Chains A and B, each alone.
Chain A
C-alpha cells in the first residue's frame, strides 16, 4: 500500500515538474536586449547603497527625465520595479523577473495585446520566419514604459507628382 502511494506521489511530482518546465520553456521568446540608456544598468550600482523610500514623490535629483504618464494616479516606481532587488521587475504575485522578460509584466494588465504579441500580431518580428533566427521586439522597444502612448513622427517625403517626376532633384 505504502509503495503504491509512493509511486503515485512520484508520478505526480514528475508530472507537475515537467508541465511547469514545459510552460516555462514555452513562454520564452528570443528578444534583443532591452533598450537601456548608457550607464543605466545595473540599477543596483547606485541603488544598492541607498535606502528604500516607498513614499510617492517628485524626483528631484535623479530620473528627472522620466515623466510617468501611465495610470500615474494609481502607480509608483516600486509597483513595477522590485524594491529589494533593483535589477529586477516585480510581478503581482511577487515573482521577480529580468528586464528581458518584461513582456510578462506588461501582459498582466494588457492581456489581449499580450495574446496578440505572443503570436506575432501586435508588435513586430524580425529576421527569418523559417529556417533561421527570429526575434521579437519587446514592448519597451516601441513604447516608453513610463509614457507608453506612441508619439507622432515625421513622415518620409511624398512621391514626386507627375509634373516634377522627370526633373526631380
Chain B
C-alpha cells in the first residue's frame, strides 16, 4: 500500500511520545521540585558525599517546616574496626521498662496513635526460659520484680546473618560495616516482608506519621537512625546509631536502673562486652536459626 499516510514508524514514535508525556504529568504538574528530587533520589549506598549533603539539607529544611525544630541530621559513617555487640544480664533485669521509654524518647518514636516501641520486655516463668510462646509483655503489677518471674527485654538483635535483609525486595535495609542493621526510610516501600522474616519481632511498622509532643523531639538525629519516620515505613532498634558512632552509650544502657545492659565493641579485647562473653555464661536468642545475633544474654555466674 504505497499511499498509506500513517506508517508503523510514525505510530511507534507517536505512542512513545504520548507515553513519555503521560508519565511526566505527575512529575511536572502535581509534584513540586522537592517531590521530584525525592522520587529521583539514588540509593543511599550509591550516593556521593555531595549528594548526601544535599539530601540532608533537604531533610533538615523539611523537618524545620513540618515540626518547627532545627534538626541536626548526621550521616556519619561506621568507625573502622568496630563491631558493636550488646550484653544483657537476665539475673539483674527487673522488668521495669525504663529502657523502653528511654528508647522512645531518644529515637523520636510515636507515643500513641500508633504507639511504637522498639524494645519489648517479656515476662517468663522462672525455670521456663525457652517457653517464649507463653511469655507475657502486657504485665502490669504494682511493683517489680515479681516473685517466680524473670524478665527478658527483646529488641533488634543485629544479626550477622539477618533474615530481614535477605528478604527485602528493594534493598532498603542492610548491614553496615560496624554490624548495625539499618533501614533507609526513604527507600523502604513498606511491604513488611522483613517484619515477617524477623524471628525476634524486632521490626515495627509505622501505620501513621509519628505522634510526638512538640517539646519532646530529639533533634540530634542520624539519617539511618532516629530521624522522624514517615507513614508506611519499617523502623527498628539501631543500637542508637547516632550515639554509638560518637562513642556514647545507647540510651537504654544509660537508662537501666539496675545496670543490666552492657555495650561495647566486639573487636576490642578491653571492652565490656568481651569481658561478658569471656567470663559469664551467655546465650543468644534462638541460636538454632543461625542468624548469629550480636546480642548476648548472660547471667551472673
Contact = CB atoms under 8 A, between A and B. Distances in A.
A120 B280 CA distance: 13
Contact of B138 (A130, A131, A159, A167): A159
B204 to A, nearest CB: 11
Given A124-B256, A129-B264, A132-B248, A154 B143 contact: yes
A101 B124 CA distance: 38
B112 interface: yes
B187 interface: no
Instruction: Please name the 7 residue pairs, one residue from A and one from B, whose CB atoms are nearest each other, closest first.
Output: A130-B247, A124-B259, A152-B143, A156-B97, A131-B247, A168-B112, A120-B272
Nearest to B142: A154
A75 interface: no
Contacts of B13: none
A152 B151 CA distance: 14
A161 B138 contact: yes
A166 B143 contact: no
B222 to A, nearest CB: 17
Question: In the complex, which range does the number of interface residues on chain A fall in?
Answer: 20 to 34
A131 B247 CA distance: 6
Contacts of A121: 89, 262, 272, 275-276, 279-280
Tell me the interface secondary structure of chain B in the complex.
loop
Contacts of A165: 114-115
Contact of B247 (A124, A128, A150, A160): A128
Contacts of B247: 128-132
Interface of A is mostly: loop
Contact of B272 (A119, A150, A167, A168): A119
Given A153-B144, A155-B95, A127 B258 contact: no
Interface string B206-231: 01000000000000000000000000
B257 A142 contact: yes
B249 A129 contact: yes
B80 interface: no
A94 interface: no
A168 B116 CA distance: 12
A131 B246 contact: yes
A142 B96 contact: no
Nearest to A131: B247
Nearest to B94: A153
A81 interface: no
A17 to B, nearest CB: 27
Interface string B106-136: 0000001111010010000000000000000
A137 B253 CA distance: 13
A167 B113 contact: yes
B96 A156 contact: yes
Contacts of A153: 94, 96, 143-144, 257
A152 to B, nearest CB: 4
B98 interface: yes
Given A120-B262, A121-B275, A156 B101 contact: yes
Interface string B185-214: 000000000000000000000010000000
B137 interface: yes
A126 B179 CA distance: 22
Contacts of B272: 119-121, 125, 129
A167 B98 CA distance: 24
B270 to A, nearest CB: 9
B259 A158 contact: no
Interface string B87-101: 001000011111011
Interface in B240-270: 246-249, 253-254, 256-259, 262-264
Nearest to B301: A112
Interface string A49-91: 0000000000000000000000000000000000000000000
